[in-house]
Amino acid sequence: MIRAAIAGGTGYTGGELFRILLGHPEVKIVAATTTSSEGVAVTSVHRDLIGETDLHFGTELNDPDVLFLCLGHGISRQFIDTHDISPDCRIIDLGNDFRLDGDHAGRHFVYGLCESARDEIAGAHDIANPGCFATAIQLALLPLAGKGLINDEVHVSAITGSTGAGKKPGETTHFSYRDNNISIYKLFTHQHLGEIRRNIGMIAGKEPVVNFVPFRGDFTRGIFASVYTRAAEGIGEEGYRKMFREYYAASPFVFHSEEGISLKEVVNTNKCLLHLELHEGYVHISSVIDNLVKGAAGQAVQNMNLMFGLPETTGLRLKPSAF
């Protein structure tokens, strides 16, 4: 069994990790650390896990094989520096500390977008888990980047659920603000742009210009991304769709749909659904994921599976609630 520890497990992402790992046939959770809820039962924080575990939050890591860092952005480096972590322990960081600068304390964090670096992840010791928006947007662009077909600016509008803002309440996550409401934030400056440009640029041979407009949605879970750029001549819609089907043929969680897609088809799962159309010289891709699963905890477990030589889908066969 893989001995797993979760640091910072009181938030939404930590709760999803517990849910997935408790059902994983090859994992035993040996520790859950926190600075705010020491001695508190995990089920007192994550009430959906009542009857699933008797774990309590503590401060000891208990010599895990893999450590998941579900800490606030910018805190992972500090945690590594201030805790006694065995060099043999693998780390998967779900924050943004190592996505652009992967070297720290003698460790090298590989950028863990499974569909773009499966072999590298399988041989990695430490992983920087991608951001949620970055995952949805890159999965829409990878087939184009791989064929050298991003030759113009990329335009993205994407909307996310309130859980994407974290568990700590804020003015724009308050029910009275969020309900029946929609708003733009971090216009053209979102923190995930750096990792999108760099990773897609490494695949395409040059960094693309990505114009990103993020929206706050009036729902809790999921990301819907609308992505388009100028289409190449002579390929046609069916040619593009074939390209996407072939690119993701070996990917167990990414699927091209011939019909339009919606959030309910992926929420609660590690899947990404894509739908492609051509319109007057532009190729448009819709991309939907669950921001807490494929956009965070599920992708982290997918990375763990690859690192430990397990089938990618182990513990991740999760069904959406479509109604």
- Residues catalogued as catalytic: 132
> Contact, 70 vs 9, CB < 8 A?
yes
Measure CA 87 to chain center: 25
Edge-to-edge strand list for the sheet holding 126-128: 27-33, 2-7, 66-69, 90-93, 126-128, 107-111, 103-104
Q: Are 158 and 166 in contact (CB under 8 A)?
A: no
**What is the strand order of the sheet 254-256 is part of?**
183-184, 210-216, 154-160, 223-230, 282-289, 272-279, 254-256
User: What is the largest distance, in Å, between two alpha-carbon atoms of the chain?
Assistant: 63
Report yes or no: 134 and 191 within 8 Å, Cβ to Cβ.
no
Residues 6+ apart with CB under 8 A from 214: 133, 158, 159, 160, 184, 185, 186, 187, 190
Tell me the three-class secondary structure of 277-301, residue by residue. Answer: EEECCEEEEEEEECCCHHHHHHHHH
